[in-house]
Each structure stands twice: as C-alpha cells, then as structure tokens.
C-alpha cells in the first residue's frame, strides 16, 4: 500500500491510515514514537505545520518510510482516490 503525498495533509492521512491498519490508538502510537497524543491528533488532521523530525519519529513507529520520486500523473492509489 503506497500513498502519494504532496501536502502536509496527505502525510496526516497516511499516518492515520497506517495507524488504523495496525490497530493502534493515538495513545499507543504516542508511546511508541515519543510524540504526544495531542500532537499526533493535530498532525493527522493537518492542524499544524509539523516538523520533519516529528514525522519521521511517527513513521518509524509505524514502520513507514518515504520514497522521494519525480511527480507522476500515473494512477496508483493516491489520497485523491481514497478521500
């Protein structure tokens, strides 16, 4: 499952999606990542201009990684398709 992200909001969606897929609560994720539950809530909802370090802390806890690539018009399940 790969998710295209072009905005901070997309990142938030990807995080929420991955967290739910792993059946974790925000609190669980907070404990594993060292990021506050309140912060996770804001990140997932795009309510703050999150710092990279925070994003990667969360990603690590969710076993996610980023792939940087040139923009493709190509399909692939992007958030535009899902949300």
In angstroms, what is the minimal distance from the CB of 37 to a second copy?
19
Phi-psi map region of 4: left, alpha, beta (phi>0 left; psi -120 to 50 alpha): beta
24's tokens:
């974790």
In angstroms, what is the minimal distance from the CB of 17 to DNA?
12
- Draw the binding track, 1-40, toward a second copy (x: CB under 8 A; -: no contact): xxxxxxxx-xx--x---x----------------------
In angstroms, what is the minimal distance from the CB of 71 to DNA?
21
Rounded to whole angstroms, the Cα distance separating 28 from 6 reads 27
Assess contact for 27 and 21: CB atoms under 8 A.
Answer: no
Q: Does 53 bind a second copy (CB under 8 A)?
A: yes
């Amino acid at each position: 499952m790969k998710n295209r992200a072009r905005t901070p909001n997309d990142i938030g969606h990807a995080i929420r999606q991955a967290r739910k897929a792993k059946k974790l609560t925000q609190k669980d994720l907070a404990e594993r990542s060292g990021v506050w539950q309140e912060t996770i809530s804001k990140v997932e909802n795009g309510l703050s201009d999150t710092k990279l370090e925070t994003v990667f802390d969360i990603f690590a806890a969710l076993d996610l990684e980023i792939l940087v690539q040139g923009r493709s018009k190509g399909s692939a399940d992007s958030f535009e398709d899902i949300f």
